[in-house]
Amino acid sequence: MTEKKTTQNCLKNSDKLDWLFAFLRRLRQFDGVEGLFNDLKANLPDVISFSSMKMVVPSFLDKSWVFDSTRETHEAGREKSALVDNVLTGIGTLGRVYFSRATVNLKSAGQSGEAATLAVPLAYEKTWGVLALESDSFSDEGVTLMNILSVNIGIYFEEQSCRSELNIFTQQLQKLHILIRSLLLTHNRDHLMEGMLGYLKSVIPHSACAVYIFEDHSDGNPKMKCLAWYEEENISVPNNELALKCAHSMTSVTESETGIMSRYVSPIFFQSRLVGAVDLYKPSGIAPKELEMYQLLIDYVSSFWVLYDLIVKKEEEASVDHLTGLWNRRYMLNRFQEEAERIARYGGNACVVIGDMGNFKHINDNYGHSKGDEVLAKVAKSIRKCLRFSDCVGRYGGDEFIMLLPNTSKADVNIVLGRINAELGLLRIASGKDAIIDVVLDFGVAAFPDEAPTFMDAINLADDCMYAKKNARKIPAR
């Protein structure tokens, strides 16, 4: 009510008042900046006579906007860059109005062909742009109307900007929610890194990011390696000096270019111990809202990192035979299933090996179970030493060992078993009675899928072959 009375005091002409209130009712319904300008171009001549109108908005919704009533939109775009630069650097009438936030009315001096210019800032809390008219002259009521228009258009820009920021923030939260739900379904740190970097790339465009892990922090000189990263065209991850600084200081560190924060390195803690850092780089400057989302994500990442480490530790405890350090029976059977699925999809083959200690009962009976445990652990170490990284060995039960050798023929297996026997022959396990305990292993081998349709069939076949060799060894030669 007060605003209406003030407007009536400024504008005595009822036509201008009616026009103004009609415009304000339409203002929230415009289809963006172009819709606003087109409405002014079509309807403002009803109350203010002008020969041309320009509107320059240097930055709104991440774009620059330039309009000229005497040209088509695409034609005005040719001078867009120059006009925006002039406004942002304070050059000319439009630039002066933009920086001073004050109306400029350059009245005609009467020379032939010279027009008057009326320019008003589109501003409320923030200056968004400039609206300028050219005519023979402008009345005081016309100037007043333009001043009222400029404030309301400034409010419109701020409302639209806030609504856009809120929509963007909501979308970012939705993406974060989806990411967190997906991370809850996986226990893989690689997936954590992949999801985190994908999210950052989507919510902080024109940036680069790297995730570092500190493997050893005990001597004050952390050994660091890069786990994952993303880069955009012409934007590369800088050197890791700032990440090392973060490791030494145990706090977030920043770097600025021309007064704008362009880099932010945040630590990742696990049980109060620094284990990693996330290095975000955006040459054009990291906006406060972007930093807020970045830090929120890092907090989640730190929590998931802790969760994953605990899960991995528990899974290893459930999958490892504590006496020998080898995989246990349950893990090995799962591994066989995975290998069967791989072979079914991509082809290939594998061999199953069952190994059994031929004199284990003798060792336990004569030297005690603790000595038997020692023998099992040392035999396990010898077997593991002779296998490839892609091979897998576990304790199948008691004194039996089981091996999975992917993409290996039976001829190649015999070479591997030869290496294992040679390694076992080097074992020197003291019995406590000035004697060395000899270790004997009987092996059985089966090829999958050549000799058995399933891995369980291959395991049973290898087991039968192993017992056949054991029995043959026990039968004295004639």
- Per domain, the residue ranges of the chain are 2-165, 186-318, 329-474
Give the CATH architecture of domain 186-318.
2-Layer Sandwich (3.30)
CB 327 within 8 A of CB 416: no
Give the CATH architecture of domain 329-474.
2-Layer Sandwich (3.30)
Among 130, 53, 139, 56, smallest CA distance to 97 is for: 130
Q: Could you tell me which residues come within 8 angstroms of residue 311 by beta carbon, excluding any fewer than 6 positions away?
A: 187
- Write the pLDDT tens digit of every residue in 188-208: 777 788 888 888 898 898 999
The DSSP-derived string for 278-314 is EEEE-TT---HHHHHHHHHHHHHHHHHHHHHHHHHHH
Among 170, 103, 113, 154, smallest CA distance to 133 is for: 103
Residue 76's pLDDT band (cuts 50, 70, 90): very low
Residue 147: φ, ψ to 5°? -65, -40
Among 310, 337, 312, 452, smallest CA distance to 392 is for: 337
Looking at the DSSP assignment, which residues form a beta bridge with residue 267? 277
Report the pLDDT value the prediction gives residue 133, as an integer from 0 to 100.
Answer: 95
The superfamily CATH assigns to domain 2-165 is GAF domain (3.30.450.40)
- Write the pLDDT tens digit of every residue in 142-190: 999 999 999 999 999 999 988 888 888 888 788 888 878 777 777 677 7
**Is the pLDDT score of 473 beyond 70?**
yes
For residue 374, the surrounding DSSP H or E stretch is: helix 369-385
Long-range Cβ pairs for the range 165-169 (8 Å, 24+): 165/289, 168/289, 169/289, 169/293
Alpha helices in 134-261 (DSSP H): 140-184, 189-203, 241-249
Residue 303's pLDDT band (cuts 50, 70, 90): confident
* Cα 101 from chain centre: 41
Among 39, 81, 24, 33, smallest CA distance to 61 is for: 33
Report the pLDDT value the prediction gives residue 220, as an integer from 0 to 100.
Answer: 59
Look up tokens 């790297």; give the residue: 210
Average pLDDT estimate for 393-417: 93
* Cα 242 from chain centre: 19
Predicted TM-score (pTM) of the model is: 0.50
Q: Give the 3-state secondary structure of residue 34.
A: helix
Evaluated on CA atoms 370, 372, 375, 376, the torsion sign reads negative
* Cα 181 from chain centre: 15
**Is the pLDDT score of 83 beyond 70?**
yes
Equal fold, 2-165 vs 186-318 = yes
Q: Could you tell me which residues come within 8 angstroms of residue 249 by beta carbon, excluding any fewer than 6 positions away?
A: none
**Is the pLDDT score of 8 beyond 50?**
no
Among 406, 403, 369, 365, smallest CA distance to 384 is for: 403
- Write the pLDDT tens digit of every residue in 204-227: 989 999 998 887 555 556 678 888
Q: Which two tokens stand for residue 110?
A: 């009467």
Q: What is the mean pLDDT of the chain?
A: 86
